[in-house]
């Protein structure tokens, strides 16, 4: 079995195992991401992303958390990613120097709302995306960032592909193709980080992955061995296709992740409900209540996308 096949099969089987409910830490991550989106939703860069998405995109059932414009899921992913980035919250894998919050929140949110998938599936998609991004990044970091790439963005394209692919209902082969199509839309120059353009990186990573999932759903074809191929992901990004052998399929989605705030308090805490409260207290006066309400909905058995939208509306009020 190739590296891509092994990783994809493992993630697909885990995401489609209807046994145990998703771990609460996944809901913590998503509640943190959605809270960040609410905090960042009115920034100028978000306005620009929404304006362009509304003018040139489609009319869909998605939007930016806390905003009202109807956007298609690709445009919503871009704008939501910008909003989360500007919300000032992070979910970091310190060992890999990776912040996975914005792109995965954007991908799961945009497809989840567009497809009205149960929230349990959102969390399984998030789990697949996080596990994939960390597994791939583990085979690339720290060299990849040293080379000058924005590693949290480049690897997010692939993580988001797994998440979006799950939410559109891909089987293992189609899931590998989503990753193949997405890998050909990688992005993330390190030199853009710190400029206004850099604020768009994580949202664009999510958007490219979401588009890839929708394309494959309609029959579009891509490589099914994109990680390890001689001219595949690791070859172009690392100059060495054999680095793909470092991808470990069984990696946990959330073990060792740290929640953080770049706001006044600059707090960090473990990825748990208590940790989230601790971080939110330093983020903004309203963040704690919003995050708690979101976490409550995300962990409620049988909750739907509509429930989450209601929670967001009430939390804003």
Partner 1 sequence: MTTGQVTEALVELVTDTDWEDLPGNAREITRQTIGNAAALAVGAASHEAAETVVRTLRRLGRSGATGVLGRDERWSPFDAAALMGLAIHVEDFDDTHLPTVLHPGPVIVPAALAAALSCGEDGRRVARAVALGTEVAVRLGNGICPDHFDRGWHVTGTTGHVGAAVAAGVVLGLDPERLRHAIAIAATQAAGLTEALGTMTKALHPGRAAAHGVQAAVLAGRGLTGPDEPLIGPGSFAHLTSPRVDPAAMLAGAGHRWELELNAFKPYACGIVSHPVLDAAVSLRGAVGPDRIDRVEVVVNPVVLAVMGKTDPRSGLESKFSVYHCFAVGFLDGAGGPPEFSDARAVASDVRALRSRVNVVTTPEVPKGAAQVSVVDVDGREYRTDVTHATGSAERPMTAEQLSAKATALVRPVLGDRTAEFLERAFALDDEASPASWVELSSPSNDPDGVVS
Contact set with partner 1 (CB under 8 A): 45, 48, 51-52, 55-60, 72-74, 147-149, 180-181, 183-193, 195-198, 200-201, 204, 211, 214-215, 217-223, 225-226, 229-233, 235-236, 239
Q: Taking the complex as a whole, how short is the minimal distance between the CB of residue 142 and partner 1, in angstroms?
A: 15
Q: Which two tokens stand for residue 38?
A: 């609410």
Q: Where are the beta strands (DSSP E) in 33-131?
A: 89-93, 98-99
Helical (H) or strand (E) element with 269: strand 268-270
- Closest Cα to residue 26, out of 149, 126, 97? 126
Q: Which lies closer to partner 1 via its Cβ, residue 32 or residue 62?
A: 62
Q: Which lies closer to partner 1 via its Cβ, residue 177 or residue 282?
A: 177
Q: Which lies closer to partner 1 via its Cβ, residue 127 or residue 228?
A: 228
Tokens 């919050």 sit at which residue? Answer: 101
| CB-based burial label for 233 (10 Å; 0-12, 13-18, 19+) | buried
Instruction: Give the single-character DSSP code of 84.
Output: H
Q: Which two tokens stand for residue 129?
A: 């995306």
Distance CA 248, CA 304 (A): 32
Q: Taking the complex as a whole, how short is the minimal distance between the CB of residue 14 and partner 1, in angstroms?
A: 26
Distance CA 77, CA 71 (A): 9
Q: Which lies closer to partner 1 via its Cβ, residue 189 or residue 273?
A: 189
Q: Taking the complex as a whole, how short is the minimal distance between the CB of residue 159 and partner 1, in angstroms?
A: 16
Q: Taking the complex as a whole, how short is the minimal distance between the CB of residue 105 and partner 1, in angstroms?
A: 20
Q: Taking the complex as a whole, how short is the minimal distance between the CB of residue 136 and partner 1, in angstroms?
A: 15
Q: Which lies closer to partner 1 via its Cβ, residue 120 or residue 190?
A: 190
Distance CA 149, CA 169 (A): 31
């Amino acid at each position: 079995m190739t590296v891509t096949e092994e990783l994809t099969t493992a993630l697909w089987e885990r995401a489609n195992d209807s046994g145990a409910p998703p771990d609460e830490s996944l809901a913590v991550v998503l509640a943190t991401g959605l809270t960040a989106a609410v905090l960042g939703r009115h920034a100028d860069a978000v306005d620009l992303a929404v304006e362009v998405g509304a003018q040139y995109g489609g009319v869909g059932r998605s939007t930016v958390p806390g905003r009202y414009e109807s956007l298609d899921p690709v445009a919503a992913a871009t704008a939501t990613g910008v909003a989360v980035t500007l919300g000032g919250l992070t979910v970091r894998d310190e060992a890999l120097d990776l912040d996975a919050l914005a792109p995965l929140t954007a991908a799961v949110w945009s497809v989840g709302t567009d497809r009205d998938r149960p929230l349990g599936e959102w969390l399984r998609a998030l789990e697949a995306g996080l596990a994939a991004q960390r597994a791939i990044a583990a085979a690339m970091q720290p060299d990849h960032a040293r080379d000058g790439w924005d590693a949290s963005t480049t690897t997010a394209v692939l993580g988001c592909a797994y998440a979006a692919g799950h939410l559109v209902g891909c089987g293992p082969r189609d899931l590998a193709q989503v990753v193949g199509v997405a890998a050909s839309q990688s992005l993330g120059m390190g030199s853009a980080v710190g400029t206004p353009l850099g604020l768009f990186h994580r949202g664009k990573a999510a958007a490219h992955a979401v588009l890839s999932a929708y394309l494959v759903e309609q029959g579009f074809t891509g490589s099914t061995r994109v990680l390890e191929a001689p001219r595949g992901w690791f070859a172009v990004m690392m100059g060495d296709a054999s680095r793909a052998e470092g991808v470990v399929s069984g990696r946990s989605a959330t073990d060792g992740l740290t929640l953080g705030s770049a706001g006044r308090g600059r707090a960090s805490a473990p990825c748990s409900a208590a940790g989230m409260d601790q971080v939110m207290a330093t983020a903004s006066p309203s963040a704690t209540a919003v995050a708690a309400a979101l976490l409550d909905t995300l962990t409620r058995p049988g909750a739907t996308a509509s429930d989450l939208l209601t929670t967001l509306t009430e939390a804003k009020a």
